[in-house]
Amino acid sequence: MQVKTYLVTGGAGFIGSNYVKYVLSNFDDVQLIILDALTYAGNYGTIAQDVDNKRCLFIKGNICDQELVSKLFSTHPIEVVVNFAAESHVDRSIENPRLFLETNILGTQNLMDIARKSWATGKDEHGYPTYKPGVRYHQVSTDEVYGSLGAEGYFTETTPLDPRSPYSASKTSADLIVKAYCETYKFPATITRCSNNYGPYHFPEKLIPLIIKNILEGKKLPVYGKGENVRDWLYVEDHCKAIEKVIRKGRVGEVYNIGGHNEKKNIEIVKLTIDTIRHLMETEPAYRSVLKTNLSTVSYDLITYVQDRLGHDMRYAIDPTKMKNELDWTPETTFETGIVKTIRWYLENQQWVEDVTSGEYQNYYERMYSNR
């Protein structure tokens, strides 16, 4: 069996850590090098047990660091790069766009430049670079690059790019650089654009884990605007499976949309989360020890409508037909089962929540929500 070395950037974050766990437990033919800067969103504890495994090495560092990334390529036989590393939260991008442009755009360019130089074997008769067989760069992107939908329609891979937040503009720029490298250098890259993920290890600045955390603490649940914005939710492991399929079988130079056909209004998500926590507490009383208040507070009374996000995209919805037809991928987890699994995970992993929110989270929360 031929073992391939993957460089997984952002592997200590939400989706990256789920991907690391998925790949290590399902594929014997890969070994991983995780490169992660451990920003507020990255947590070594999330992957500590995976790193113990002889097939997985962790390096703390920045994807923009040319010297470090070059050294990784010269000291390890890296054949695949999976780039999860990014600043990922829209609200933070509204506060500090520059960091998003640096990490998301320049970090992507840095990884690709070093990979293409390290993988180059020569030139073809037209002067295009040639590469070692089997190498691949994979860019993890988002459906937010397509902008915002009205009540009807879906994003396909040919929908024009129309980003509207600093976050989505930075991800779009990165996608365009990847596409440009595919054309100019025949660089062997693929891109996936995924809808909103949910599941274990999701940082509690994002809607679902923030709502779960606040319910357990008896805090108000901040719903932006009227709560009618729609997101298309996908269980994170389904996303990880799709990425691995694209890396193994996807066509170089192609974009693949990944989505769950699971459209929900934000207010529906919030109500469903309240209902599910309440039901679990009522039927499995052991969970009540996690509540910092009493069960009667777990109700819709916690919902509070707050000032809307600036430039808030109305609706995202993915058409995943290409993934189904070309790579035989469809999501396996329904939202109804995925949300229960997710909530149970948070109820059983409160220490993780405390660990990841012990840093700058409190300041962030105050800044973001106190005057809203």
As annotated, the active-site residues are 143-144, 167
Q: How far is the CB of 78 from ligand TYD (least distance, A)?
A: 30
First-to-last CA distance in the chain? Answer: 56
13 contact, one of ligand TYD, ligand NAD, none, CB 5-8 Å limit per kind = ligand NAD
User: Which one of residues 20, 24, 37, 211 is an interface residue with ligand NAD (CB under 6 A)?
Assistant: 37
Q: Which stretch binds ligand NAD (CB under 6 A): 21-29, 30-38, 109-117, 121-129?
A: 30-38
Neighbours of 256 (CB within 10 A): 23
Based on its alpha-carbon atoms, the radius of gyration of the chain, rounded to whole angstroms, reads: 21
**Token couple for 183:** 């054309």
Establish if 10 lies at the interface with ligand NAD (CB under 6 A): yes
Distance (Å, whole) CA 26 – CA 331: 17
* CA–CA gap between residue 322 and residue 319 (Å, rounded): 8
Query: Which residues, 6 or more positions from 151, have their beta carbon under 8 angstroms from its beta carbon?
Result: 315
Site string for ligand NAD, 153-192 (x = CB under 6 A): ------------------x---------------------
Residues 296-325 within binding reach of ligand TYD (CB under 6 A): 309
Q: Are 11 and 55 in contact (CB under 8 A)?
A: no
Stretch that binds ligand NAD, among 34-42, 271-279, 309-317, 340-348 (CB under 6 A): 34-42
Q: Which residue has the tokens 């300041």?
A: 363
Partner whose binding site includes residue 207, from ligand TYD, ligand NAD, none (CB under 5 to 8 Å by kind)? ligand TYD
Q: Which of residues 263-292 bind ligand TYD (CB under 6 A)?
A: 266
Task: Return d(Cα 304, Cα 317) in angstroms, integer.
Answer: 26
Q: Among residues 207, 209, 240, 231, which one has the least CA distance to residue 332?
A: 240
Give the shortest CB-203-to-ligand TYD separation in angstroms: 10
DSSP 262-278: -EEEHHHHHHHHHHHHH
- CA angle, 309 as apex, 306 and 311 as ends, to 5°? 150
Residues 217-256 that bind ligand NAD (CB under 6 A): none
> Given candidates 23, 72, 81, 223, which one binds ligand TYD under the rule CB under 6 A?
223
Q: What is the 3-state secondary structure (H, E, C) of 44-73?
A: HHHHHHHHHCCCEEEEECCCCCHHHHHHHH
Residue 64 lies near ligand NAD (rule: CB under 6 A): yes
Chosen residue from 7, 86, 114, 208 binding ligand NAD by CB under 6 A? 86
31, 110, 142, 173: which one binds ligand NAD (CB under 6 A): 142
> Which range of residues in 56-64, 272-280, 291-299, 347-355 is near ligand NAD by CB under 6 A?
56-64
The residue within the footprint of ligand NAD, chosen from 4, 31, 34, 42 (CB under 6 A), is 42
Residue 108 in contact with ligand NAD, rule: CB under 6 A: no
Neighbours of 279 (CB within 10 A): 13
| Phi–psi pair at 200, nearest 5 degrees | -60, 150
Question: Per rule CB under 6 A, is residue 323 in the interface with ligand NAD?
Answer: no
Q: Where are the alpha helices (H) located in the chain, listed in sequence order?
A: 14-26, 44-52, 66-75, 90-95, 97-100, 107-119, 166-184, 207-217, 236-249, 266-283, 321-327, 335-348, 350-356, 361-369
Binds ligand NAD by CB under 6 A, chosen from 88, 108, 173, 342: 88
Which span (47-55, 83-91, 211-219, 290-298) binds ligand NAD, by CB under 6 A? Answer: 83-91
State the residues that interact with ligand NAD by CB under 6 A. 9-10, 12-16, 35-39, 41-42, 62-64, 84-88, 103, 107, 140, 142, 171, 194, 196-197, 203
State the residues that interact with ligand TYD by CB under 6 A. 90, 196, 206-207, 210, 222-224, 229, 231, 266, 309
